[in-house]
Structure 1
Amino acid sequence: MIELTAGTGRLGLLPELGGAVAYWKSRDICVLHAVSDANLLAQRGRAVSGYPLVPFSNRVANGHFRFEGTEYRMKPNFGGESNTLHGNGWEHPWQLELLADDSATLVLDWHPPYEQVTGQVIGQWPFAYRAQLRFDLREDSLSIGMLIENTDLRSQPVGMGFHPYFPRRSGLQLGFAAETVWTNDEHHLPALRVPATGDWSFEHMHAVTTQDIDNCYAGWERAAFLRWPNEGLALTIEADDPFRHLVLFTPPDKPFIAVEPVTNMNDAFNHSGVIDRGVHVLAPGAKLEGHIRIALMAC
């Protein structure tokens, strides 16, 4: 465990557990909600408040995709599904590169394992990359810098994002503007793209009640707002340009929601016909980077 401090702000980091955030507290307020999800197999039941999504966000259908004429297959890594979820950065230990009282930089150097006889990748992400996470803490805010660099000899498709959990308490309200949202099929994969209107809309901030949403929004304005009116607290989430999609997860029977700024739509590698699917093809040595900023305030 690494703890950053800034005034009354405290941030706990778990480099060995996929670069996850253990907690974020400000003035003894739990800004994030720690969640233990047995389906996230590599987290081994440990409660975390957030974790990085690299080198892609959300699902790849059956762990299979085709890129530049080659078929690739990855093993399932989420309980009860045949899909591969959230990349593989959260499944591996990160190394501490830089540390100060209020900031830390973590890195992950990924090299895919090969079967010696066939030379094929063994069920993992098939390209080498270097990922970097930088956390900068202030008393009432947190900046998360993300970078992924292609360290392979081949071009590779990538995406990234961050998966924070927020407490679902005290009449939680949510607001953000988006153009469209993807509905899901029975395998939790994108089916139809529809306008983000009616029950899908959060353009006018309203309470998160019994809605059961686990969907990806496209064309959001890269700003979202949460409010706990009974506690007089509000929170803003802002993201840089690469994060053009937003995954919203509001399980009605859980004490949390997830609001995830991400670069790519769900199952983006298998939707080449979607112009704005958010896949970035990096040539060897090329990088993708961006920042997510979260700030707590009184309201």
Structure 2
Amino acid sequence: MRDVSLNPIRPAATEAFQLDDPALIALASGTMRLLVAPHVGGSIAAYYEAAATGPVHWLRPATEAALAARDPLRMGSFPLLPYCNRIRDARFEFDGRTVDLAGDGNLFAHALHGHAWRRAWRVGARTASSVELHFDHEPDPHAPGDWPFRYRAMQRIELAGDALRVTLSAHNLAERPMPFGMGHHPYYPRTASTRVHAQVQGMWHADGEVLPTHLGPHPAVDAMREGMAADAFDLDNNFAGWSRSATIAWPDEGRQLTLTAQAPFDHLVVFAPASEALLCVEPVTNTTDCFNADDTRDHVGGCVLMPDEQIAATVHWTPQRV
């Protein structure tokens, strides 16, 4: 196995892949390319190698139609905060109050993925291979379902050699404690040969509305240890006891992408539906509906940020030829 970032001989690159959107930020490192869409929820639109034979995509690339629709769900990856995945009925109790998120423009039955992915992010410092994106939330007491805590978030998105590195951070600017979770939602190219490798200890089983019911064994837990086919199960589930490393492999193409994450990205979501050729392997800090869970924080993740408290963690995606 060799890391592509260590390969001193590179083919002549071609710029065959183009997305015609002037708001995109283009980053480069060697033959690696990254397109960032701050106006589409602070998303990554594409991460690929500009190889002599054409672009090699490590994340599923956005399309012109996805950019025109400003649809984060059709980007390469997008940030999740101030919580990950669903909150049952879009409400929870916290610090003696009901937090009701219904009516904030989220069109799902249960509040989904927070709100920052549905807002534009502000562009900060830039270099040829990196960009900082900023998101400031000031709650509007007159807006239905608005997140009632003031906070600031930042993404530092960069190419470190051939690897993609994203650092997410948040700062509680409210005068009271704030419940919080974060993650990133990457989509990967999915083919008949795609495999997912990860060390996990258990799976959160879910009901028909993709809300967790219990933590327990599942054949996918053992399958991922050996390299689970993306087509093996119908999955939209959280996995516990994750080692904070996972690899998405395309053995027929002789390549793989390894995801590594810092704490508190201690939970993993695998979305591999039977009905669509989609694949997400997501580093997150909390399980679905963690704010309503009866389990301990150690089991469901998430945290409470005290006034003026900050949190930051980094995720890497490292491509390899095998």
Does TM-score exceed 0.5, indicating one fold? yes
Q: Which residue of 2 aligns with 1:198?
A: 219
Using a 3 Å threshold, how does the CA distance of structure 1 residues 194 and 46 change in structure 2: closer, same or farther? closer
Shift of 1:157: 0.5
Structure 1 position 128 matched with structure 2 position 155 = no
Q: Indicate which of 16, 24, 38 corresponds to 2:39.
A: 16
Provide the C-alpha distance between the structure 2 equivalents of 1:69 and 1:135, rounded to a whole number of angstroms: 37
Shift of 1:210: 4.2
Q: Which residue of 2 aligns with 1:118?
A: none
2:274 aligns to what SS in structure 1? coil
Name the aligned partner's letter for residue 266 of structure 2.
R
On the 8 A contact 1:51/1:90 being kept in 2, the answer is yes
Matches within 5 A, 1:57-72: 57-72=84-99
Shift of 1:47: 3.3
Q: Indicate which of 100, 118, 126 corresponds to 2:127.
A: 100
Using a 3 Å threshold, how does the CA distance of structure 1 residues 180 and 206 change in structure 2: closer, same or farther? closer
Runs of 4+ in structure 1 over 6 Å off? none
Structure 1 position 188 matched with structure 2 position 235 = no
On the 8 A contact 2:40/2:72 being kept in 1, the answer is no
Name the aligned partner's letter for residue 113 of structure 2.
H
Provide the C-alpha distance between the structure 1 equivalents of 2:315 and 2:72, rounded to a whole number of angstroms: 26
2:276 aligns to what SS in structure 1? coil
Shift of 1:198: 2.3
Structure 1 position 149 matched with structure 2 position 176 = no
Name the TM-score, length of structure 1 as normaliser: 0.91
Q: Which structure dedicates a bigger proportion of its chain to strand?
A: 1
Matches within 5 A, 1:206-221: 206-221=228-243
2:252 aligns to what SS in structure 1? coil
On the 8 A contact 1:170/1:229 being kept in 2, the answer is no
Q: Which residue of 2 aligns with 1:237?
A: 259
Shift of 1:45: 7.7
Q: Which structure dedicates a bigger proportion of its chain to helix?
A: 2
Q: Indicate which of 97, 107, 111 corresponds to 1:84.
A: 111
1:249 aligns to what SS in structure 2? strand
Name the aligned partner's letter for residue 102 of structure 1.
S
Shift of 1:17: 1.1
On the 8 A contact 1:33/1:256 being kept in 2, the answer is no
Shift of 1:273: 2.9
1:50 aligns to what SS in structure 2? coil
On the 8 A contact 1:12/1:23 being kept in 2, the answer is yes
Using a 3 Å threshold, how does the CA distance of structure 1 residues 294 and 168 change in structure 2: closer, same or farther? same
On the 8 A contact 1:9/1:138 being kept in 2, the answer is no
Return 5+ residue gaps in structure 2 as ranges.
1-23
Shift of 1:43: 4.0
Structure 1 position 5 matched with structure 2 position 32 = no
On the 8 A contact 1:140/1:297 being kept in 2, the answer is no
On the 8 A contact 1:8/1:139 being kept in 2, the answer is no
Q: Report percent identity of matched pairs.
A: 33
How far does the alpha carbon of each residue in 1:5-52 deviate from its partner, in whole angstroms, 9 at most, with x for none? 11111111111111011111113201111368x9xxx94488311100
Name the TM-score, length of structure 2 as normaliser: 0.85
On the 8 A contact 2:72/2:118 being kept in 1, the answer is no
